[in-house]
């Protein structure tokens, strides 16, 4: 009988591959074995030729969370007297690259079980199997076995133990396996910890509180979340006040895909992503007149929507029967609470009631946020369902640890030819978040048992990440590589696409310290591995009030005019909006250049234009003005553009003076703000092409927070492609500063490689 050796590569460990292979082989009457291999899974299979063919075909199309990238088969001589197919222990002495699966949303089989009366796990909120359930949030150390997870305190009952040991069972070697007899249990608590109810009563009590309009703190998969009724304006407003979050959109969890479909326009591709094992928050188009109140995401045509991804969320949403706001359990700027004691101390004033349980969470993992664009998904926040999946690292250098930037912090650990990027840690604005960054470093190093030999950080001396990197470099006596922010952006996108040679990087974002001490952010850089050269940038303009300009776009507008047409060209309405008390000091500030840092930031240009067009002249959260400009532009048909003046030779400086002049003319003559916004977007695509031609390289990478803007990204790619350039945008990581640690690790690894 024919026999083959099969090597399978992809995401095949910790996701139920071996029991699946066992069942498939048994069903086709095949013998042989399967075992984990450092790079995937190896099998030897013997049987009738047709059955072998069918088995190979099965392997190629296994459902998520398994992801088969590669199957190689090779004929072997027959083994006599083989009667069974078995799951073998991993080969001895193999130094396996640890592969840690991310947390996986409830699979259809487990969902069916908890919904079926009479099943052992009917209504059990901690049901899971080899295809689904917690992973990264409960693994304390590797290798991944139950005694090294937070399930170690829950000895298996005999029924669960039987399933765990049975290779034909869906729960064979499912480390977090549990049931109502042996696993974690729910409890309902008042703020402070007083116990109100347990088990199913706790769940029902929480649902009733939500229906009364109260705020629930829920101990979810990777931390505490705050939930309120998304159909109650009062409940949503109360949460905004308590959380000190005025206008920033909240995400909404829907009981099921049908309820989501009622409130939003969801395509098939979007549904596939929403129901995938990663089950992220997806920004989808809102329908008019849905039951979700506008207060959830004021003025936003999109809604961050997601579906229940644990049995606990499923049961709760089902009991409530309506969509719920579901947001990270934190105060503005602080990281999400994930331990029971800190949850009560930090969320006690935010929540009316707590639904908790006795399974500890090892590390906080927030929900991921994605958007489905015309050419595929864009990651906006990479956390649950994605971290800590590794990606290849260019350059086989010594282990490197990169500490990232200041906003949307992440930590990157490069070793053995790949990079593990931590989950999104939030902005480093509070002492608690700086502390979380330090703990995440310790966690990653201990988890993967890596000793870094070099460190990387941003150029900015005041970032908490930079200061931590300096401390660690001194303590461990290691070289510290300071990577310019936009270099890191470009390097990250180039590495994602495996581009080794020089590329032109368009790094467009809000803020990053340049090598000349000014704030950059509208950059065209030639990135060549560990080195870069600035070949184009926006002509710098002053930001009166510095940081204050980030939340007050009209300050950027005043600064832009001071640097181009003159302050007197500022539309009178905008000038008046400052009020007499603020206007004179602002002019004096600009006049004398006091507290007016100069910037080439494209993010601030977005703010300025938003204010000039009358779209967002007032205060708001960072990025709000730019978002509203994008939404306005989306409502207009393409029609015209605005001109630039290019200056300089080797470094092409883009002077926006003619753009501002034409734009103000439009505004003065009553052109709709939507059309102004659209023309501005077209002008940025022109700018991209101007710099691409100047750079003269076939590959252009797009990175930076501005490329979270789907319209801008689409227009730039289209424009560059039409002119024969290959434009690449981020796929594996977010275009915002969530990619910086990865970029820094890449630059450090390539430097080590070359040195």
Interface with Fe ion (CB under 5 A): 509, 737
Residue number with CB closer to Zn ion (13 or 378) = 13
Residue number with CB closer to Zn ion (181 or 194) = 181
Q: Which does 160 bind (CB under 5 to 8 A by kind): Fe ion, Zn ion, none?
A: Zn ion
Which residues in 157-216 contact Zn ion (CB under 5 A)? 157, 160, 179, 181-182
Q: Which does 263 bind (CB under 5 to 8 A by kind): Zn ion, Fe ion, none?
A: none
Residue number with CB closer to Zn ion (126 or 508) = 126
Q: Are 90 and 145 in contact (CB under 8 A)?
A: no
Q: Are 33 and 147 in contact (CB under 8 A)?
A: no
> What residues are paired with 10 via a beta bridge?
68
Q: How far apart are the first and last CA of the chain?
A: 54
Residue number with CB closer to Fe ion (105 or 493) = 493
Taking the complex as a whole, the smallest distance from the CB of residue 736 to Fe ion amounts, in Å, to 6
CB atoms within 10 A of CB 192: 9
Q: Which does 154 bind (CB under 5 to 8 A by kind): Fe ion, Zn ion, none?
A: none
Q: Which does 273 bind (CB under 5 to 8 A by kind): Fe ion, Zn ion, none?
A: none
Taking the complex as a whole, the smallest distance from the CB of residue 512 to Fe ion amounts, in Å, to 5
Residues 6 or more apart in contact with residue 158 via CB below 8 angstroms: none
Q: Which does 107 bind (CB under 5 to 8 A by kind): Zn ion, Fe ion, none?
A: Zn ion
- For 533, phi then psi, to 5°, come to -140, 135
Q: Which does 182 bind (CB under 5 to 8 A by kind): Zn ion, Fe ion, none?
A: Zn ion
In this structure, the chain runs to a length of: 755
Number of residues that bind Zn ion (CB under 5 A): 10
Taking the complex as a whole, the smallest distance from the CB of residue 125 to Zn ion amounts, in Å, to 13
Taking the complex as a whole, the smallest distance from the CB of residue 273 to Zn ion amounts, in Å, to 19
Q: Which does 179 bind (CB under 5 to 8 A by kind): Zn ion, Fe ion, none?
A: Zn ion
Residue number with CB closer to Fe ion (344 or 382) = 382
Residue number with CB closer to Fe ion (509 or 674) = 509
Taking the complex as a whole, the smallest distance from the CB of residue 90 to Zn ion amounts, in Å, to 23
DSSP 8-state assignment for residue 48:
-
Q: Which does 48 bind (CB under 5 to 8 A by kind): Fe ion, Zn ion, none?
A: none
Q: Which does 157 bind (CB under 5 to 8 A by kind): Fe ion, Zn ion, none?
A: Zn ion
- What angle (nearest 5°) sits at the alpha carbon of residue 207, between those of residues 205 and 209? 70
Which residues in 98-137 contact Zn ion (CB under 5 A)? 107, 110, 129, 131-132
Taking the complex as a whole, the smallest distance from the CB of residue 124 to Zn ion amounts, in Å, to 9
Dihedral sign, CA of 704, 706, 708, 712? negative
Taking the complex as a whole, the smallest distance from the CB of residue 15 to Zn ion amounts, in Å, to 11
Taking the complex as a whole, the smallest distance from the CB of residue 312 to Zn ion amounts, in Å, to 14
Taking the complex as a whole, the smallest distance from the CB of residue 494 to Fe ion amounts, in Å, to 15
3-class secondary-structure state, position 458: strand
Q: Which does 737 bind (CB under 5 to 8 A by kind): Fe ion, Zn ion, none?
A: Fe ion
Strand locations in 496-604, DSSP E? 503-513, 519-528, 531-538, 541-542, 598-599
Q: Which does 226 bind (CB under 5 to 8 A by kind): Fe ion, Zn ion, none?
A: none
Angstrom distances, CA of residue 385 to CA of 278, 317, 671: 4, 20, 45
Q: Which does 509 bind (CB under 5 to 8 A by kind): Fe ion, Zn ion, none?
A: Fe ion
Residue number with CB closer to Fe ion (459 or 675) = 459
Taking the complex as a whole, the smallest distance from the CB of residue 130 to Fe ion amounts, in Å, to 39
Half-sphere exposure of 547 (CA within 13 A, CB side): 0
Residue number with CB closer to Fe ion (358 or 622) = 622
365: preceding bond cis by omega (within 30 degrees) = no
Closest by CA to 43, choosing from 23, 26, 22, 67, is 22
Taking the complex as a whole, the smallest distance from the CB of residue 703 to Fe ion amounts, in Å, to 8
Q: Which residue has tokens 């109810």?
A: 197
> How far is the C-alpha of 238 from the C-alpha of 249, rounded, in Å?
14
- For 694, phi then psi, to 5°, come to -65, -40
Q: Are 644 and 655 in contact (CB under 8 A)?
A: yes
> What residues are paired with 390 via a beta bridge?
420
Residue number with CB closer to Zn ion (131 or 725) = 131
Residue number with CB closer to Zn ion (124 or 644) = 124
Residue number with CB closer to Zn ion (7 or 157) = 157
> How far is the C-alpha of 318 from the C-alpha of 703, rounded, in Å?
40
> How far is the C-alpha of 658 from the C-alpha of 643, rounded, in Å?
6
Q: Which residue has tokens 């250098």?
A: 397
Helix runs in 461-570, H state only:
464-476, 485-496, 553-563
Residues 6 or more apart in contact with residue 43 via CB below 8 angstroms: 5, 6, 8, 21, 32, 33, 34, 35
Taking the complex as a whole, the smallest distance from the CB of residue 695 to Fe ion amounts, in Å, to 20
Question: Whose CB is nearest to Fe ion?
Answer: 509
Q: Which stretch binds Zn ion (CB under 5 A): 49-57, 155-163, 186-194, 331-339?
A: 155-163
Residue number with CB closer to Fe ion (607 or 737) = 737
- What angle (nearest 5°) sits at the alpha carbon of residue 596, between those of residues 592 and 597? 135
> How far is the C-alpha of 234 from the C-alpha of 503, rounded, in Å?
51
Six token digits for residue 151? 């399930």
Taking the complex as a whole, the smallest distance from the CB of residue 132 to Zn ion amounts, in Å, to 3
Taking the complex as a whole, the smallest distance from the CB of residue 359 to Fe ion amounts, in Å, to 37
Q: Which does 682 bind (CB under 5 to 8 A by kind): Zn ion, Fe ion, none?
A: none
Residue number with CB closer to Fe ion (113 or 737) = 737
DSSP 8-state assignment for residue 228:
E
Q: Which residue has tokens 């073998």?
A: 88
Closest by CA to 538, choosing from 377, 652, 664, 660, is 652
Taking the complex as a whole, the smallest distance from the CB of residue 161 to Zn ion amounts, in Å, to 8
Residue number with CB closer to Fe ion (146 or 534) = 534
Dihedral sign, CA of 197, 253, 430, 424? positive
Residue number with CB closer to Zn ion (103 or 628) = 103
312-351 footprint of Zn ion as x/- string (CB under 5 A): ----------------------------------------
Q: Which does 110 bind (CB under 5 to 8 A by kind): Fe ion, Zn ion, none?
A: Zn ion
Task: Summarize as ranges the residues that interact with Zn ion (CB under 5 A).
Answer: 107, 110, 129, 131-132, 157, 160, 179, 181-182
């Amino acid at each position: 009988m024919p026999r083959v050796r099969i090597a399978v590569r992809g995401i095949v460990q910790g996701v139920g591959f071996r029991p699946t292979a066992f069942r498939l082989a048994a069903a086709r009457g095949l013998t042989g074995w399967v075992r984990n291999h450092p790079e995937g899974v190896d099998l030897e299979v013997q049987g009738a030729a047709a059955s072998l063919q069918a088995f190979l075909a099965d392997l190629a199309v296994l459902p998520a969370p398994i992801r088969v990238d590669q199957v190689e088969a090779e004929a072997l001589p027959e083994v006599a007297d083989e009667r069974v197919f078995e799951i073998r222990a991993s080969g001895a002495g193999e130094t396996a690259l640890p592969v840690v699966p991310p947390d996986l949303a409830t699979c259809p089989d487990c969902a069916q079980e908890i919904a079926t009366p009479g099943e052992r796990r009917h209504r059990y909120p901690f049901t899971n199997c080899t295809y689904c359930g917690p992973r990264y949030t409960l693994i304390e150390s590797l290798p991944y076995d139950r005694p090294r997870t937070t399930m170690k305190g829950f000895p298996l009952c005999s029924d669960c133990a039987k399933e765990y040991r049975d290779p034909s069972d869906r729960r064979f070697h499912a480390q977090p396996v549990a049931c109502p007899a042996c696993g974690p249990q729910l409890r309902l608590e008042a703020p402070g910890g007083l116990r109100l109810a347990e088990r199913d009563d706790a769940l029902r009590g929480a649902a009733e509180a939500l229906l009364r309009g109260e705020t629930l703190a829920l101990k979810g998969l990777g931390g505490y979340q705050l939930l309120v009724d998304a159909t109650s304006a009062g409940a949503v407003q109360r949460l905004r006040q308590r959380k000190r979050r005025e206008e920033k959109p909240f995400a909404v969890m829907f009981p099921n895909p049908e309820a989501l479909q009622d409130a939003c326009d969801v395509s098939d591709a979007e549904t596939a992503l929403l129901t995938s094992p990663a089950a992220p928050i997806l920004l989808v188009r809102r329908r008019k007149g849905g039951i979700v109140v506008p207060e959830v995401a004021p003025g936003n045509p999109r809604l961050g929507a997601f579906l229940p991804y644990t049995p606990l969320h499923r049961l709760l949403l089902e009991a409530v029967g309506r969509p719920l706001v579901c947001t990270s359990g934190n105060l503005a700027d602080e990281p999400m609470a994930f331990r029971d004691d800190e949850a009560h101390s930090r969320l006690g004033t935010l929540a009316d009631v707590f639904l908790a349980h006795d399974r500890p969470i090892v590390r906080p993992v927030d929900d991921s946020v994605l958007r489905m664009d015309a050419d595929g998904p864009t990651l906006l926040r990479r956390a649950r369902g994605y971290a800590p999946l590794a990606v290849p690292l260019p350059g086989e250098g010594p282990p490197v640890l990169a500490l990232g930037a200041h906003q949307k912090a992440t930590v990157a650990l490069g070793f053995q030819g790949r990079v593990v990027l931590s989950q999104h840690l939030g902005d480093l604005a509070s002492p608690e978040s700086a502390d979380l960054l330090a703990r995440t470093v310790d966690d990653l190093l201990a988890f993967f048992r890596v000793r870094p030999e070099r460190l990387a950080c941003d150029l900015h001396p005041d970032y908490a990440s930079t200061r931590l990197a300096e401390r660690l470099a001194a303590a461990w006596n290691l070289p510290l590589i300071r990577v310019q922010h936009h270099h890191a952006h470009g390097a990250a996108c180039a590495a994602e696409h495996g581009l080794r040679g020089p590329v032109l990087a368009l790094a467009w974002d809000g803020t990053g310290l340049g090598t000349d001490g000014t704030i950059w952010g509208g950059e065209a850089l030639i990135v060549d591995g560990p080195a870069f050269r600035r070949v184009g940038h926006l002509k710098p303009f002053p930001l009166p009030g510095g940081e204050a300009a980030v939340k007050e776009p009209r300050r950027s507008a005043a600064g832009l005019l001071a640097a181009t047409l003159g302050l007197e060209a500022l539309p009178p309405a905008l000038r008046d909006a400052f009020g007499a008390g603020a206007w004179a000091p602002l002019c004096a500030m600009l006049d004398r250049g006091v507290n007016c840092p100069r910037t080439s930031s494209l993010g601030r240009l977005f703010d300025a234009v938003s204010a000039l067009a009358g779209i967002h002249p007032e205060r708001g959260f960072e990025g709000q003005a730019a978002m509203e400009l994008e939404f306005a532009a989306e409502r207009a048909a393409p029609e015209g553009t605005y001109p630039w003046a290019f200056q300089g030779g080797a470094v092409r400086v883009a002077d926006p003076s003619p753009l501002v002049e034409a734009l103000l003319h439009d505004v003065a003559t009553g052109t709709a703000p939507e059309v102004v916004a659209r023309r501005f977007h077209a002008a940025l695509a022109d700018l991209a092409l101007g710099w691409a031609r100047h750079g003269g390289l076939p590959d252009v990478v797009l990175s930076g927070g501005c490329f979270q803007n789907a319209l801008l990204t689409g227009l730039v790619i289209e424009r560059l492609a039409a002119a024969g350039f290959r434009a690449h945008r981020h796929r594996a990581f977010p275009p915002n500063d969530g990619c910086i640690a990865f970029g820094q690790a890449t630059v450090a690894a390539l430097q080590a490689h070359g040195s």
